[in-house]
Amino acid sequence: MLLITFFFLPAYAVDLEGGVRDIQRHQQWRSMEFRNPQFGFFLAARASTEDKDKSANLNITIPLDNNQCKETIELVFKLTTPAKEDIDQDGLVEFQLDERPPKLLSSKVVMANGDYFVFMRINESFRPLNLSGHRSMLANARGWGVAEFSLLGFDEAWGKARNSCNAFVAP
């Protein structure tokens, strides 16, 4: 399940499958660029991995916003049945890196009526740099599911995504 969506606003996700470019594998991670499918201009870069057993993705998305690359961390779970209502609420996600104590973080939970995916954007100061140098991360999205993500290849995928975005920042 390679989920290809991109947040413009917390309540909206846009399918950009036709605009995906330069997908590269980095062990358990992938890096990619999103381009406007019609005009080809750069929109964002992403480093992504998945827990196939739990149908979950961990995405580091780096959109170009006002000539700056701003990183966001999103956790996405695929549901077994479609959502029965729109949800846009605060939630909690517990992250545990390797054998360290878990850290409880706030998130914005978004789900659309009839959709099979729930999106959690991490609100706290937990940055991608926190993942660097670790082997695995356990994510417990309270009320939605638990997933374990390998961090093998994270540094390379995140570096490639950052470099892709930074290439479009005007001097």
- Cα-to-chain-centroid distance, residue 163: 17
pLDDT tens digit string along 66-92?
889 989 999 999 999 999 999 999 999
Q: How confident is the model at residue 129 (pLDDT cuts 50, 70, 90)?
A: confident
Helical residues (DSSP H) of the chain, grouped into ranges: 154-166
Please check the confidence at residue 15 and state whether its pLDDT lies above 80. Answer: no
The SS3 of residue 81 is coil
pLDDT tens digit string along 1-11?
444 454 444 43
| DSSP characters over 20-36 | EEEEEEETTEEEEEEE-
As a whole number of angstroms, the distance between CA 108 and CA 111 comes to 10
Q: Name the fold adopted by 5-166.
A: Immunoglobulin-like (2.60.40)
Domain ranges of the chain: 5-166
The SS3 of residue 8 is strand
